[in-house]
């Protein structure tokens, strides 16, 4: 985490690009940013071309003066390494650093996040720059974090990558026979005899669309390899800066559920998690909430940093609506409510040219402080000062965990059949939503997380069972845990090879069922099932199954599998394992999990009307309840304990009914804890 000894409050600030401005503007910015209560600036995100002019010619003079100015004005710095976009001269001189697209086309210079992760030239120059920056600025005690590159992402399919992919495969499989087995290459006569017969899987080879492949095995390994390649870039720069500044924490800005990079693997190499949140105006509250929950869960519940958000508007969405008055504050606190220890923006001052000139900033094109957005930022900055260090480090105690696994994400969506509409994230959300609506905190966990602290573990669409994860689940349930999984689970092992002998494969014993067939329903067509006297829809996939010890809780109502089980419960050791054999609707998930939570004594933070979110964070200073009214209208909540409002200082007693203005935020400190 950002060194809190240096900043004894939630930091407030964000990306600042003085390289785009003259001296006079920079000086004015110092005044304005202090006025806005900003205390941290992320510097040097895109300055590689300015810093390095040829192989051996570096020029840090401008950055030196920026660093001096910023320090002299009392700002903390999150210092970026600038390697998110390479210089034009480098691309001209070393075309191998350019990426090759999925189509096989080599890109020319342009854009950003544009370097081939496996280019030796890129690797050499990027780590050298990181190392020079760390050596040069190591004595600046106002540097509170390193920001490696920027929003790692995308993929490359060039010849460097192809060669390194073969080495990666060799390390993984040791022999070509093992690889042939893992990819089942006897299908369609794809047997390989030498490593260099293997080519990158793209539109020129195994694919007929980004997500559509004829060989899942190779495509899945390439997804893993691409994520690993960029992770290697990150790690190399991490080592480079740590050599000079071992005590400055290092991060890179993530992007929520970003499919191309396995963030659970990346998180191990990050000192703290930071991420960029850009919800569109139509994004639901829970879609934003779950991203924050994922970020918090990446490092076992440690607070993260909201590295970027727009103070008002983005430029890159199709329709860039303004954040209405109060919404920037509300979304800032939503991040804090879910585990952020900072509120940061992209960006401090609006550019005048290129594609981000219409992106929101604290300082607008008008260039002064008399704007709505500036005033809202300033007011939020003031509040964060007032909150001080009280909430820093506070944790969320979730009793419920939802498994989210990148290998499953890739494999499910590469799968040819049983439905093109099968989307991992959508299925996760069907489950998450039921808890979010009830203000029950959820951790979004990887397969490595210890399950024993959870009362309920849910793994929707656990198509792939990796390693001995089935054993871990069995032990968890045996010891009293409750486990819920869904249709299309337990189908394959980690190479995407089917576990034969009956679905759900390695989960069969735990669930006490055998799934014989899977019926894919076209969009718009549905079956129904009965559960506790009510009828719910069965959509997308319908598993046709036989109980093998499990109790049947629900049965289909139509079609040739009428009266057969769809929902089951298996008692296993001292716990229970549930199977939901189809996709249903919101009402079903809410009803089902309400009952389960009641039985497991998992309680909501607070009962609130729809559209009002409540979370709790705790630390040694106390227990903090966040109540956020996302609605356009006034709402009310009844308090369940005695509280002090941390912003106004007002005292409230248990049972008191509070009115919440539209977009209101309450931060309540529990009395008597």
Q: Which residues are catalytic?
A: 151, 308
Tokens linked to 492: 């394959």
- Among ligand GLA, Zn ion, none, the one that 276 touches (CB under a kind-dependent 5 to 8 A) is ligand GLA
**Nearest distance, CB of residue 333 and ligand GLA, angstroms:** 20
- Among ligand GLA, Zn ion, none, the one that 359 touches (CB under a kind-dependent 5 to 8 A) is ligand GLA
- Among ligand GLA, Zn ion, none, the one that 158 touches (CB under a kind-dependent 5 to 8 A) is Zn ion
Q: Which is nearer to ligand GLA, 151 or 576 (CB)?
A: 151
Q: Which is nearer to Zn ion, 116 or 422 (CB)?
A: 116
Q: Which is nearer to Zn ion, 97 or 428 (CB)?
A: 97
- Among ligand GLA, Zn ion, none, the one that 341 touches (CB under a kind-dependent 5 to 8 A) is none
- Among Zn ion, ligand GLA, none, the one that 308 touches (CB under a kind-dependent 5 to 8 A) is ligand GLA
What residue is closest to ligand GLA based on CB?
276
Q: What share of the chain is helix, strand, coil (3-state, %, to 5)?
A: 30, 25, 45
Considering only residues 287, 308, 341, 470, which one is a binding residue for ligand GLA as defined by CB under 6 A? 308
The CB density around residue 115, as the number of other CB atoms within 10 Å, is: 28
Q: Any residues with CB less than 8 A from the CB of 38 and at least 6 apart, and which?
A: 12, 13, 14, 75, 348, 362, 377, 381
- Among ligand GLA, Zn ion, none, the one that 314 touches (CB under a kind-dependent 5 to 8 A) is ligand GLA
Considering only residues 77, 85, 158, 664, which one is a binding residue for Zn ion as defined by CB under 5 A? 158
**How many Cα atoms are found within 13 Å in the side-chain-facing hemisphere of 451?**
24
Q: Which is nearer to ligand GLA, 111 or 522 (CB)?
A: 111
- Among ligand GLA, Zn ion, none, the one that 346 touches (CB under a kind-dependent 5 to 8 A) is ligand GLA
**Nearest distance, CB of residue 170 and Zn ion, angstroms:** 18
Considering only residues 100, 114, 127, 150, which one is a binding residue for ligand GLA as defined by CB under 6 A? 150
359 touches ligand GLA by CB under 6 A: yes
346 touches ligand GLA by CB under 6 A: yes
Q: Answer whether 403's CB lies under 8 Å from 462's CB.
A: yes
Q: Which is nearer to Zn ion, 230 or 612 (CB)?
A: 230
Per-residue binding string, ligand GLA, 510-529, x by CB under 6 A, is --------------------
Q: Any residues with CB less than 8 A from the CB of 440 and at least 6 apart, and which?
A: 399, 400, 597, 602, 603, 604, 605
Q: Any residues with CB less than 8 A from the CB of 616 and at least 6 apart, and which?
A: 396, 397, 441, 605, 623, 624, 625, 626
278 touches ligand GLA by CB under 6 A: yes
**How many chain residues are in contact with ligand GLA, going by CB under 6 A?**
10
Report how far residue 435's alpha carbon sits from residue 613's, in angstroms, rounded to the nearest whole number. 11
Closest CA to 21 of 83, 66, 76: 66
Considering only residues 41, 78, 98, 116, which one is a binding residue for Zn ion as defined by CB under 5 A? 116
**Nearest distance, CB of residue 275 and ligand GLA, angstroms:** 9
Virtual torsion, Cα 296, 300, 301, 304, nearest 10 deg: -40
160 touches Zn ion by CB under 5 A: yes
Strand order in the sheet with 250-251: 250-251, 143-147, 76-80, 40-43, 11-15, 340-346, 304-308, 274-276, 253-254
151 touches ligand GLA by CB under 6 A: yes
Which uninterrupted H or E stretch holds 15? strand 11-15
Report how far residue 413's alpha carbon sits from residue 673's, in angstroms, rounded to the nearest whole number. 47
Q: Which is nearer to ligand GLA, 46 or 195 (CB)?
A: 46
Q: Which is nearer to Zn ion, 84 or 481 (CB)?
A: 84
- Among Zn ion, ligand GLA, none, the one that 160 touches (CB under a kind-dependent 5 to 8 A) is Zn ion
- Among Zn ion, ligand GLA, none, the one that 156 touches (CB under a kind-dependent 5 to 8 A) is Zn ion
Strand 635-638 to 657-660 pairing:
antiparallel
Report how far residue 658's alpha carbon sits from residue 652's, in angstroms, rounded to the nearest whole number. 9
119 touches ligand GLA by CB under 6 A: no
Q: Which is nearer to ligand GLA, 254 or 518 (CB)?
A: 254
User: Buried b / exposed e across 516-553, counting CB within 10 Å, b at 16+?
Assistant: eebbebeeeebbbbbbeeeebebbbbbbbbebeebeeb
Q: Footprint of ligand GLA on residues 251-270 (CB under 6 A)?
A: 253
Q: Which is nearer to ligand GLA, 274 or 371 (CB)?
A: 274
**Nearest distance, CB of residue 274 and ligand GLA, angstroms:** 11
276 touches ligand GLA by CB under 6 A: yes
Considering only residues 100, 126, 314, 568, which one is a binding residue for ligand GLA as defined by CB under 6 A? 314
**Nearest distance, CB of residue 312 and ligand GLA, angstroms:** 11
Q: Which is nearer to ligand GLA, 346 or 476 (CB)?
A: 346
Report how far residue 220's alpha carbon sits from residue 415's, in angstroms, rounded to the nearest whole number. 10
47 touches ligand GLA by CB under 6 A: no
Which uninterrupted H or E stretch holds 385? helix 372-387
- What's the length of the chain? 673
Report how far residue 82's alpha carbon sits from residue 127's, in angstroms, rounded to the nearest whole number. 11
**Nearest distance, CB of residue 317 and ligand GLA, angstroms:** 9
Cis peptide before 418 (omega within 30 of 0): yes
**Nearest distance, CB of residue 575 and ligand GLA, angstroms:** 42
Q: Any residues with CB less than 8 A from the CB of 641 and at least 6 apart, and which?
A: 654, 670, 671, 672
Closest CA to 632 of 326, 379, 289, 377: 326
394 touches Zn ion by CB under 5 A: no
658 forms bridges with which residues in the sheet?
637
Report how far residue 466's alpha carbon sits from residue 505's, in angstroms, rounded to the nearest whole number. 12
Tokens linked to 87: 């210089």
- Among Zn ion, ligand GLA, none, the one that 496 touches (CB under a kind-dependent 5 to 8 A) is none
Q: Footprint of Zn ion on residues 127-156 (CB under 5 A)?
A: 156
- Among ligand GLA, Zn ion, none, the one that 116 touches (CB under a kind-dependent 5 to 8 A) is Zn ion
Closest CA to 250 of 176, 144, 333, 332: 144
496 touches ligand GLA by CB under 6 A: no
Q: Which is nearer to Zn ion, 98 or 220 (CB)?
A: 98
Report how far residue 347's alpha carbon sits from residue 350's, in angstroms, rounded to the nearest whole number. 7
Which residues here bind Zn ion, judged by CB under 5 A?
A: 116, 118, 156, 158, 160-161
Which residues here bind ligand GLA, judged by CB under 6 A?
A: 150-151, 253, 276, 278, 308, 314, 346, 356, 359
């Amino acid at each position: 985490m950002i060194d809190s000894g240096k900043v004894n409050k939630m930091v407030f600030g964000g990306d600042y690009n003085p390289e785009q401005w003259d001296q006079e503007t920079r000086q004015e910015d110092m005044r304005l940013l202090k006025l806005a209560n900003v205390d941290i600036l992320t510097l040097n995100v895109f300055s590689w071309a300015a810093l390095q002019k040829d192989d051996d010619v570096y020029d840090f003079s401008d950055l030196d003066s920026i660093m001096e100015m910023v320090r002299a004005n009392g700002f903390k710095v999150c210092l970026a390494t600038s390697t998110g976009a390479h210089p034009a001269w480098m691309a001209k001189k070393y075309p191998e650093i350019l990426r090759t697209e999925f189509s096989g086309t080599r890109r020319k210079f342009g854009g950003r996040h544009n370097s081939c992760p496996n280019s030796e030239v890129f690797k050499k120059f990027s780590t050298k720059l990181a190392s020079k920056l760390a050596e040069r600025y190591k004595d600046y005690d106002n540097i509170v974090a390193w920001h490696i590159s920027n929003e790692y992402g995308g993929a490359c399919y060039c010849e460097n990558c192809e060669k390194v992919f073969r080495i990666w495969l060799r390390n993984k499989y040791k022999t070509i026979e093992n690889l042939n087995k893992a990819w089942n290459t006897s299908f369609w006569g794809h047997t390989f005899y030498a490593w260099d017969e293997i080519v990158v899987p793209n539109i020129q080879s195994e694919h007929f669309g980004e997500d559509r492949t004829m060989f899942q095995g190779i495509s899945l390994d390439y997804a893993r390899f691409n994520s690993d390649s960029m992770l290697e870039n990150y790690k190399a720069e991490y080592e480079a800066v740590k050599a000079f500044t071992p005590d400055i924490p290092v991060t890179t800005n993530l992007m929520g559920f970003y499919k191309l990079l396995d963030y659970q693997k990346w998180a191990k190499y990050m000192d703290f998690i930071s991420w960029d949140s850009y919800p569109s105006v139509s994004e639901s509250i829970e879609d934003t909430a779950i991203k924050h929950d994922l970020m918090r869960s990446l490092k076992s519940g440690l607070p993260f940093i909201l590295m970027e958000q727009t103070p008002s508007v983005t430029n890159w969405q199709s329709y860039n609506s303004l954040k209405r008055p109060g919404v920037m504050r509300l979304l800032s606190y939503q991040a804090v409510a879910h585990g952020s220890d900072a509120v940061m923006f992209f960006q401090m001052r609006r550019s005048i040219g290129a594609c981000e000139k219409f992106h929101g900033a604290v300082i607008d094109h008008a260039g002064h402080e008399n704007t709505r957005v500036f005033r809202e930022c300033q007011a939020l900055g003031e509040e964060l000062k007032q909150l001080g260090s009280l909430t820093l480090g506070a944790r969320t105690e979730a009793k419920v965990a939802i498994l989210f696994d990148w290998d499953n994400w890739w494999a499910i969506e590469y799968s040819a059949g049983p439905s093109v509409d099968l989307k991992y994230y959508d299925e996760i959300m069907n489950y998450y939503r039921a808890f979010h609506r009830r203000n029950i905190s959820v951790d979004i966990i990887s397969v490595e997380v210890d399950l024993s602290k959870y009362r309920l573990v849910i793994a929707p669409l656990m198509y792939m069972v990796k390693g001995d994860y089935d054993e871990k689940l069995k032990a968890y349930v045996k010891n009293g845990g409750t486990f819920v999984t869904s249709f299309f689970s337990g189908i394959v092992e980690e190479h995407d090879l089917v576990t034969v002998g009956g679905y759900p494969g390695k989960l069969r014993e735990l669930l006490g069922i055998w799934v014989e067939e899977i019926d894919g329903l076209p969009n718009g067509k549905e079956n129904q099932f009965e559960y506790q006297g009510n009828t719910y829809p069965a959509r997308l996939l319908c598993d046709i199954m036989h109980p093998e010890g499990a109790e049947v809780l629900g049965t289909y109502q139509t079609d040739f599998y009428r009266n057969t089980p769809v929902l089951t419960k298996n008692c296993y050791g001292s716990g229970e394992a549930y199977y939901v054999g189809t996709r249903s609707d919101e009402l079903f998930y809410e009803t089902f999990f309400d009952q389960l939570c009641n039985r497991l004594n998992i309680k909501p933070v607070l009962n609130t009307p729809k559209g009002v979110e409540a979370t709790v964070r705790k630390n040694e200073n106390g227990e903090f309840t966040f109540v956020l009214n996302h609605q356009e209208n006034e709402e009310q909540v009844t308090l369940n304990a005695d509280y002090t409002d941390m912003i106004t200082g007002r005292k409230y007693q248990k049972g008191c009914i509070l009115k919440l203005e539209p977009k209101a935020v309450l931060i309540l400190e529990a009395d008597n804890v």
